[in-house]
């Protein structure tokens, strides 16, 4: 799966979880600001992500990750 495909899937998962229109979300968006979520809600999203891709991402790899593209980069290394 390409990074673009990963990013698109991440945006779709976030849009579904937080009831947003995926077309309003971009790869470079800070998902905390754009979705208005806190760290607890971000961890809920990560649960969805880990289930979708059947992967575990350690918390330390997520430090400083705030955009969909950066999250896709982390996933790319794990897949």
Range of the domain at 57: 3-78
Dump pLDDT digits (tens) for 40-66. 999 999 999 999 999 999 999 999 999
Dump pLDDT digits (tens) for 23-44. 999 999 999 999 999 999 999 9
What pLDDT shows up at residue 65? Answer: 96
Number of domains in the chain: 1
The residue assigned the tokens 């880990």 is: 50
* CATH code, domain with 17: 1.10.1200.10
What pLDDT shows up at residue 17? Answer: 97
Residue 27, classified by CB atoms within 10 Å of its CB into exposed (0-12), middle (13-18) or buried (19+), is middle
Q: What's the predicted TM-score (pTM) here? A: 0.94
Query: What would the two tokens of residue 43 be?
Result: 């961890």
Please provide the distance, in angstroms rounded to a whole number, between the alpha carbons at the two ends of the chain. Answer: 9
Residue partners of 79: CB distance under 8 A and separation at least 6: 1, 6, 53, 55
Instruction: Kindly list the distances between the CA atom of residue 20 and the CA atoms of 6, 7, 13, in Å, as whole numbers in the listed order.
Output: 18, 16, 10
């Amino acid at each position: 799966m390409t990074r673009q495909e990963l990013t698109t899937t991440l945006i779709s998962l976030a849009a579904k979880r937080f009831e947003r229109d995926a077309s309003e979300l971009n790869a470079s968006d800070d998902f905390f600001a754009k979705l208005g979520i806190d760290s607890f809600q971000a961890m809920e999203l990560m649960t969805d992500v880990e289930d979708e891709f059947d992967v575990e991402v350690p918390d330390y790899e997520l430090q400083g990750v705030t955009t969909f593209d950066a999250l896709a980069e982390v996933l790319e290394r794990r897949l």
